[in-house]
Structure 1
Amino acid sequence: MSFDSFFAKFERIFMGPMTKLAQQRHLLAVRDGMISTIPLTIVGSVFLIIAFLPVPQAWNESIAFFKFLKTHALTIMIPFRVTMGLVAIYATYTIGYSLAKSYELDGKSGGSLALMAFFMTTLPQAAYSVMNAMKSVTLADGSDVMVLTADQLTALGLVIPMDRLGGAGLFVGIFTAIVAVEILRFFEKNNLVIRMPDGVPDSVARSFSALFPAFAVMIVMFGFLVIARIWPILDLHTIFSAVFSPLKKVVDTPVGAVLIVLFITMLWAAGIHGVSIIGTIVRPVWLDMLDQNAQAHAEMLQFGTTNITSYITPEPFFQWFIWIGGSGGTIGLVLWLLVARSRYLKELGKVTFLPSIFNINEPLIFGLPIMLNPFFFVPFILGPVIVTIFTYVVMSLGWVNAPFALAPWTLPGPIGAYIATGDWRAIILNIVNIIILAVIYYPFMRAYDTKMLKEEQGEAVA
């Protein structure tokens, strides 16, 4: 089978469904909503790193600056708690907003209804059982007071449990955002809304048009709440945790990581933005894993906890150790372009080197090109697979810390790797992976360079 016929068959069987999936309205809303949380998670990660700088323990005891950081770590962690710790809230609103806008509905109404629906899922116990559990305590002055525990305050809706507002609540947030906006769309589509006269300001008109949908969303979510009170096993967070916990375990295996890399690189090789499709599906899982790693890292450094299991493959695993220079790990290819014999390839190397340092490789993918190019199909897929397996083994053996922080993706690889893991050994791993990628790309690049050189020499003779 020729390369062209292989790609024709691949496009017919695989690309059609993937293209439709990439254009699916709800997945696009999830993608846009999750991407909008990236600045917040980066900011939170920065404060987590500042609170627990990766320096020798002796520095924390002897140097005033580091001693100050250690003493005030809980205060410094507050920005982390209100960003990463509340990421489900931000994602729920932005997903609801994006989905509503895609239907040409009011985005603010969609986001607000999504938030209301989500908050209705966060109260885990029945109020009457809490009231029965209240205890009377006699104070020193002889007066009696009723005492509520933190769990009881939570159940009464006076305190919202933080564990459902971070990464663990993302899937419920996605679900409630979709439910809320679809209800809003149903009412708008069937004209079951209050229409105000033309002279009424738009902001007021939007508020009244969302009134009936808001009642409907509340009734639906209250129904879920009542069901969860009667049968706690049917609590939405419990259900989604049971469904997606196995998915996290699969994603955090070598096989799961390799499959993600294969799908992304094969899509890119065919000219489709693989990360935008696969990332849309997997990113909520990645963010949940990263959130748990960050919490575990903070506990380990603050309380000396050692029996905490970290996930190896949240998104920074791929960003800083696999996609070095961009999808396909093309930094290894760019290095060879700089010393190519072909004039075109050498000039392309000069143009693409700087963007590749900052993990931007679209000029290379479309300028070489890599997509639909039989010379680079194999290394573009094989290289990332090899370094995925190698990196997973290194981290599973504890030679390099698993990622716990989200660094800006445009940072140079070694810097981003260090920030994401807080481990200087990650810099070495990043550089070793670049060498591995360069070795894998070399024979294919050499063959393509020879081909291009012959074509240039033939044109010169002609």
Structure 2
Amino acid sequence: MEKLFSFIEDKLLPPLAGLAEQRYLRAIRDGIISTMPLVMIGSFYILVVMFPIPAWRSFIEPWIGNMMLPFRITIGLMAVYASYGMGSSLARSYDLDGTSGGSLSLAAFLMTIIPQVAQLEDGTGLGFVLPMEYLGGAGMFTAILTMILAVEILRFTQKNNLTIRLPEQVPASVARSFEAIIPGMITITIVWIISVVLGLNVNQLIMQLFSPLVNIAGNSYLGVVIPTVLITLLWASGIHGVSIIGSLLRPIWLVLLEQNMTAVANGQVPGNIGTEGFYDLFVWIGGSGGTLALCILFMFSKSTYLKQIGKLSVVPGIFNINEPIIFGAPIVLNPVLAIPFIVGPFLTSTITYIAMKFELVAKVSVVTPFAIPAPIKAYLSTNGDWRAVVLVLINFAIYFAVFAPFVKAYDKQMLAEEEATLKLKGEN
């Protein structure tokens, strides 16, 4: 196990940590996280409209169209909000104006979507409208690329003084808006040439390019198990695994989630397994590594130290906060506890994948706050599927079975150390 830790620390960690701190990935992470409140709001309306009680569904049926509008304006426009957030974050990382970076990124992204002339069934003209097909999760990869293009052009023009400079007496907000004119002109012209003059559907091309990766991450066994193993390996080495792996995969997870939400909103069955909720609801019961079972086992240990750590960690663990147990036990660089910490999630992610693959449990289609206890959160996030609660309890029992023998051995070791310490103090 020590050789494994050394390999992770020396070979695996440096490139992964470098990726997590890469400027573009940080901007993507921050921009996507900024959309989470809106995603949760949109999820709430899906849950209300699609709650699995026939009497309720019949009651609200006349108002379903209007009640789904908040979903359309939040999750349906997810890439729009993320585009601005990512551009603002990347610009600020270069010490540029965040508002200009966000605005130019948003403009470049919208320029990839050609307005269409629409009419109602009675022939009434609506004028130009933007199709919403790529304004949500399907446009996320385009939003990322146009964000990088827009901010890099802004940085290039600022660095080479290719901007309109106003006198110092002009208010800063006005001056910044004029400084964005030239980079904005360059950015929009480039995207206009690609989308309009050349007639390329950028969003469609990018989705076709990334679709194999999305399918692997969302619906293959390796696509859901490999992130689980990497996250637990990194945590066991003392590195925040979700922070690193999540920075790389969260854009894909978000696309998969938006596809599931849209399917539910359209009265269909969600099809993607590997959303972020797959891990949060069924694998990370009590936090990364499924450590709530470990907290409870510690509470019944003979070791005074482990018993105290268990008592201090169990309440945060119920609400999916597990730093106290990870660093208090510790699990970090501790071969005795690192083994079940890695093996347990591997088993539960495998079982969860099988259950969803064979449609024994509904896929995740609702986002709920991370601090909600696992069974309740699983029920809500699968749009009221009671089988999700059963799966959580099964996985929880697996964590108990996996952790128990290792806790027993660790408890014996810690108890011997405590007795030796007391004996030494008594002799002194």
CA contact (8 A) 1:401 1:421 kept: yes
**1:230-269 alignment runs, 5 A limit:** 232=200, 235-251=201-217, 252-269=219-236
Structure 2 residue aligned with 1:93: 84
Report deviation, 1:309: 5.8
| Contact kept? 1:322, 1:329, Cα under 8 Å | yes
Equivalent residue for 1:201? 171
* Secondary structure in 2 matching 1:436: helix
CA distance in 1, matches of 2:347, 2:25: 30
Q: Any conservation in 2 of the 1:52–1:73 contact (CA below 8 Å)?
A: no
* 1:227 Cα deviation after fit: 5.2
| TM-score, length-scaled by structure 1 | 0.87
Moved over 6 A (4+): 147-150
Alignment RMSD (CA, Å): 1.9
* TM-score, length of structure 2 as denominator length: 0.94
Supply the distance in 2 between the matched residues of 1:227 and 1:358 (Cα, whole angstroms): 53
Corresponding residue for residue 361 of structure 1: 322
Amino acid at match of 2:300: V
1:351-374: per-residue Cα shift (whole Å, max 9, x none)?
A: 110111111111111111111111
Cα distance in structure 1, aligned partners of 2:146 and 2:133: 17
Q: Hey, what does 1:383 align to over in structure 2?
A: 344
- Does the C-alpha gap of structure 1 residues 351 and 210 become closer, same or farther in structure 2, counting only changes over 3 Å? same
Say which of 67, 75, 84 aligns to 2:75: 84
State the alpha-carbon separation in 2 of the partners of residues 436 and 222 from structure 1.
55
Matches within 5 A, 1:41-440: 41-55=39-53, 57=54, 59-60=55-56, 67-123=58-114, 158-226=128-196, 228-229=198-199, 232=200, 235-251=201-217, 252-300=219-267, 308=269, 310-422=271-383, 423-440=385-402
CA–CA distance in structure 1, aligned partners of residues 398 and 181 of structure 2: 59
- Give CA-to-partner distance per residue, 1:58-113, whole Å, 9 cap, x none: x24xxxxx543222111111111111100000100000000001001000000000
Query: For the Cα contact (< 8 Å) 1:52–1:69, is it kept in 2?
Result: no
Amino acid in structure 2 at the alignment position of 1:250:
I
Aligned to 1:143: none
| 8 A Cα contact 1:334 1:353, kept in partner | yes
Query: Deviation per CA, 1:280-319, whole angstroms, max 9, x where unpaired?
Result: 221111111111111211222xxxx5xx561112111111
Task: Work out the CA distance in 2 between the residues paired with 1:7 and 1:286.
Answer: 28
When Rg is computed on C-alpha atoms for both structures, the one with the higher figure is 1
Q: Deviations over 1:418-452 (max 9, x none)?
A: 11102111111111111111111111111111111
**Cα separation, 2, equivalents of 1:263 and 1:222:** 41
SS in 2 for 1:164: coil
Q: Which amino acid aligns with 2:386?
A: W
Separation in 1, partners of 2:229, 2:322: 18
Distance 2:3 2:63 in 1: 63
Q: Secondary structure at the match of 1:83?
A: helix
Q: Would you say 1:13 and 2:4 are equivalent positions?
A: no
1:144 aligned residue: none
Aligned residue for 1:375, secondary structure, equals helix
Distance 1:149 1:398, change over 3 A: farther
Paired residue type of 1:424: W
Equivalent position amino acid for 2:294 in 1: L
Paired residue secondary structure (1:376): helix
CA distance in 1, matches of 2:61, 2:364: 21
Q: Which amino acid in 2 is paired with 1:461?
A: K
Letter in 1 for 2:39: T
Which segments of 5 or more consecutive residues in structure 2 lack a partner in the other structure? none
Tell me, what secondary structure is at the counterpart of 2:133? Answer: helix
CA distance in 2, matches of 1:407, 1:256: 23
For 2:2, the equivalent position in structure 1 comes to 4
**CA-to-partner distance for each residue in 1:253-276, whole Å, 9 max, x for gaps?**
111100111111111111111111
* 1:23-42 equivalences in 2 (<5 Å): 23-42=21-40
* 1:14-59 per-position Cα deviation (integer Å, ceiling 9, x unaligned): 111112112111100001111111111011000111112121x2x2
In structure 2, C-alpha distance between the alignment counterparts of 1:279 and 1:124, rounded to whole Å: 34
Structure 1 residue identity aligned to 2:288: S
Q: Which amino acid aligns with 1:416?
A: K
Change (3 A) 1:228 1:454: farther
CA contact (8 A) 2:84 2:103 kept: yes
Matched-pair contact (CA < 8 Å) for 1:332–1:439? no
Q: Indicate conservation of the 8 Å contact 2:115/2:130, yes or no.
A: no
Q: CA deviation at 1:177?
A: 0.7
- The residue matched to 2:363 in structure 1 has which SS? coil
* Contact residue 92 and residue 177 of structure 1 kept, 8 A: yes
1:142 counterpart residue number: none
How many angstroms apart in 2 are the aligned matches of 1:191 and 1:52?
A: 54
